[in-house]
Amino acid sequence: MSYLLNALSMLIELVFEAAVTLLLLRVAAEACRADFHNPLSQFIYRYTNPVLAPIRRVLPNWRRINLAALLLAWLAMLLKRVLLFALLGVMPNPLGLIVLALAELLDFALLFYLVLIFGWSLLSMFSVDQRHPLLKLAGALVAPLLRPLRGRLVAGQIDFAPMVVMIVLLLARLLIAAPLLDLGVRLALGA
C-alpha cells in the first residue's frame, strides 16, 4: 500500500469514527438520561438532531435506545469499510460487509466505553470541579455500567469497580468482537 493510500485510509477512518463517536454519545446520553442542559449534551443533540429527526419518524426509539442513531452509526461503519475496500481495489461480498460493519460497530462501542471509563476514573482521582460539564456527562454515561459493582469492590479508599468493568469490556472485545471481525473479513473477502 502506498503512502498516499495509507494517508487517505487514515483520514477516512478518522472522519467516519468521529461521526460514529458523536452518534454513540447520543445513544448513550439518551439511554442513561444524561442531563439535557449540560453544554456537551446540547452540542451532541444540536449536531445529531438534523440527521436523526427524519429517520426517527420512521424508526422510533425502543425503550430508551435510539435506534435511528444506531442505524446511522452502523451505516457509517459500512460506508467506511466500502471506501477502504475501494481504495484497495477489492470488491467485497455484501454479506461480509454487513457482518464486518456490525462487528466494527460493536468493537468501537466497547472501545468507546473502555476509554470513557478510563478517562472518567482518571479525572475523578484529581481535584477537578465535580460540576464540570465533561465530568458530569462522563459520570452519567458510565454510571449504568458501574452501578452493579459500586461499593462492592472497595479496598481502603479505592473502588476497583471501574477496573473490573474495563477488564470485562476488554474480554468482550477479545472474545466477542474479534471473532466477529474475523468472520466479517473472511466473508467479505470470500475466503
Q: What is the pLDDT of residues 93-109, one digit of tens each?
A: 999 999 999 999 999 99
d(CA 14, CA 81): 12
Judged by average pLDDT, the poorest of 36-45, 135-144, 156-165, 175-184 is 156-165
pTM over 0.75: yes
What is the b/e burial string over 118-139, where b = at least 16 CB atoms within 10 angstroms of the residue's CB? eebbeeeeeeeeeeebebbbbb
Q: How confident is the model at residue 152 (pLDDT cuts 50, 70, 90)?
A: confident
Whether the per-residue pLDDT at 49 is higher than 70: the answer is yes
Q: Which pLDDT value is given to residue 111?
A: 97
Q: What does R_g of the chain's alpha carbons equal in angstroms?
A: 18
Distances (CA, A) of 190 to 9, 56, 95, 179: 22, 35, 10, 16
- The pLDDT confidence band at residue 29, using thresholds 50, 70 and 90, is very high
Higher pLDDT, 74 or 151: 74
